[in-house]
A and B are shown apart, each in its own frame.
Chain A
Amino acid sequence: MDIVVCVKQTPVATAEKQLDTDLLLDRESVDNAINTYDEPAIEEGLQLLELHGGSITFLSMGPDEAVDSLRKALAMAGDLDARAVLISDDALRGSDILGTALVLSAAVRKLNPDLVILGMRSDDGGAGVMAAAMAQHLDLAVLTNANKVTIEGRTVRSHRRLSDGYIVQESELPLVLAVTDAINTPRYPSLKGIMGAKKKPLQTWSLEELAIEPERVGTTGARTRVLGAVAPPPRAKGEVVEDKGDAAERILAFLAARKVV
């Protein structure tokens, strides 16, 4: 089975974010790392590969620095048959969901896998729509919110997480799968894996190799526009006191003053 796992490099959650004068995220002044929600997607791909054999390709769209996240994914793969593809092109800066879905889908079509795996959302955009958007481009079925996945023959069985339980769903390969953040515990790369990752194949593709016209992506192709950005008024730090045995009374007085009790 051939698997593609989509990996995004995102600013770390705790980093101070600011927008450039063109209202795009300043990705250079912040620390970046692999999107935390992609780690379970990578792990799930590796576990399925260990069970069923085949190959795995980590696919990312982003600036050249996104290579770091692909190398980390390759390191997690250890001895497994893994490679990576980075789609990098100056014209991609400012792409919205639609542009990103177009580019990733074109790359997936070229790689022609049995299974495409994504995380449930990204740390930065966070729309959680990429799996469905790609499935629409690729004319494939999509299973999202997968909290447990098994494959038998060509049939994929997934537990779709609900707020109060789950639905057991089935569909046939090829398809697109988006996993929850609780589906597994992502492995740490071994030292050997980290050393080996440098030798694993990593290609960089431009838009030309995907036959996508630059006008269709980036700021030019975007169908959404950011009009402004402000920092939210910070929630004021309230009173912090050490418990001297009177904490319960203090809390009760606080709740009573706010008329919630």
Chain B
Amino acid sequence: MPTSSDIWVLVPFEGGAPVRAGLDLLAGARDLAAQLGGQAVAVVCGPGAGAQAAALARWGAQQVLVCEDTALVGAADGVADVLGQAIEAKGPHALLLVATLDGPDIAGRLAVRLGGGLLANATALFARDGAVEMQETAFDGALIITCTADREVTQIITVRARSFEAREYPGEATVESLSFTPSAQALRVRNVETVRQTTGEAVPLEAAQIIVSGGRGMGGPEAFGILKDLAEVLGAAVGASRAAVDAGWVPYAMQVGQTGKQVKPKAYIACGISGAIQHKVGMQNSAAIVAINKDPEAPIFDFADLGIVGDCLEIVPKLTAAVRNRR
């Protein structure tokens, strides 16, 4: 069914601007499209999406497909339906989706609708023999698997955060409006209200160069205050393990790990975090890992670059002071 070598990317929007994870995917799409002889195409849905075409071109889109239907705001099923119609009409080689929230929902529906294979949680993509292959880290990091999907059908691929880095490109994109509308069946979910719970973080976790992260070993919510102090002098973001989030000490927005955020900072400072596999999956790609833990047997010491067996409640404030004095 694919009639072109174009690589599509569904670029999600938040507050009227394309999200970073979507722009990262455009860089990946641009590389793949160049290898396959097609174009990198950004697909954007929702009112006002067309106004972002220039921004998307700057980040690598050679073509922008716009569907401004108001019913598509926060409607994964509706977006899946419109994308399905567009793919059936235009036959791109592959569609890349961000592997969180709406991405997997849209991917699951499209794979069944189109009857093709679904490649999930890619960490790397490359073209070989005219088809896209992907690598994924399977079984919580135990194996790196290379796989591919049937190329007779548009390949549907979800991609993990931070697998690509957004890059700027010169040139403009052609813009096309899509006239497809979602069916009533695809709009059976009503969004009643959105509740935002901000963490008051100066530096967002996903973009941080340094992350200071706390776990059960911090002992309680108050102790996160000393992590915030350290983060402030380092220009870092504060993260947390699932244990700290489940205990209600900090909001879910701070969770790093398999079911939280996947991060890739230059330095990750883990305080009172045991390093369970669930957490490791979210931070093991950090360039450098420092761990402070009272328990010399904590698994995090097996993969930290620098491990300190000690009390974070004592060490962290000293470190904050030392960084401050260094300036």
Q: Give A contacts to B, CB under 8 Å.
A: 11, 13-14, 16-17, 19, 25, 96-98, 101, 120-121, 123-137, 139, 141-145, 157, 161-172, 175, 180-182, 222-232, 234-243, 247-252, 254-256, 258, 260-261
Contacts and interface: CB of A to CB of B under 8 A. Distances in A.
A167 B74 contact: yes
Interface in B96-129: 99-101, 104-109, 111-113, 115-121
A143 B75 CA distance: 11
Given A127-B120, A164-B199, A13 B277 contact: yes
Contact of A223 (B116, B137, B190, B323): B116
A236 B278 CA distance: 19
A228 B153 CA distance: 22
B112 A133 contact: yes
B319 A243 contact: no
Interface string B176-198: 00000000010011111111111
29 contacts: A13-B277, A17-B142, A19-B143, A97-B117, A98-B115, A101-B108, A121-B259, A124-B138, A129-B111, A129-B118, A136-B108, A164-B253, A165-B194, A168-B195, A169-B191, A170-B192, A171-B188, A182-B246, A231-B142, A231-B143, A232-B137, A234-B303, A235-B289, A237-B302, A243-B311, A255-B290, A260-B210, A260-B267, A261-B323
Interface in B134-189: 137-150, 153, 158, 185, 188-189
Contact of B306 (A180, A224, A232, A250): A250
A133 B111 contact: yes
Nearest to A158: B189
Given A98-B117, A136-B112, A228 B146 contact: yes
B53 interface: no
A242 B296 CA distance: 8
Contacts of A169: 189-192
Contacts of B74: 167
Contact of B189 (A16, A170, A247): A170
B309 A229 contact: no
B308 A241 contact: yes
Interface of B: 74, 76-77, 80, 99-101, 104-109, 111-113, 115-121, 133, 137-150, 153, 158, 185, 188-199, 209-210, 234, 242, 245-246, 251-253, 258-259, 261, 266-267, 269, 277-278, 284, 287-290, 292, 296, 301-311, 314-315, 318-319, 321-323, 326
Residue of A129, A132, A133, A239 with highest tally of chain B CB at under 10 A: A129
A224 B147 contact: yes
Nearest to B284: A235
A167 B191 contact: yes
Given A126-B138, A131-B108, 10 more contacts: A17-B143, A98-B115, A129-B111, A167-B191, A224-B117, A231-B142, A232-B141, A252-B322, A255-B267, A258-B287
Contacts, number: 274
Given A98-B111, A127-B158, A145-B101, A254 B196 contact: no
B307 A229 contact: no
Contacts of A13: 140, 277-278
A224 B118 contact: yes
Given A167-B191, A224-B149, A129 B158 contact: yes
Nearest to B318: A248
Contact of A164 (B196, B290, B303): B196
Given A17-B142, A228-B146, A248 B188 contact: no
B301 A240 contact: yes
Contact of B194 (A134, A144, A167): A167
B136 to A, nearest CB: 9
Contacts of B326: 252, 256, 261
Contact of B120 (A129, A139, A170, A228): A129
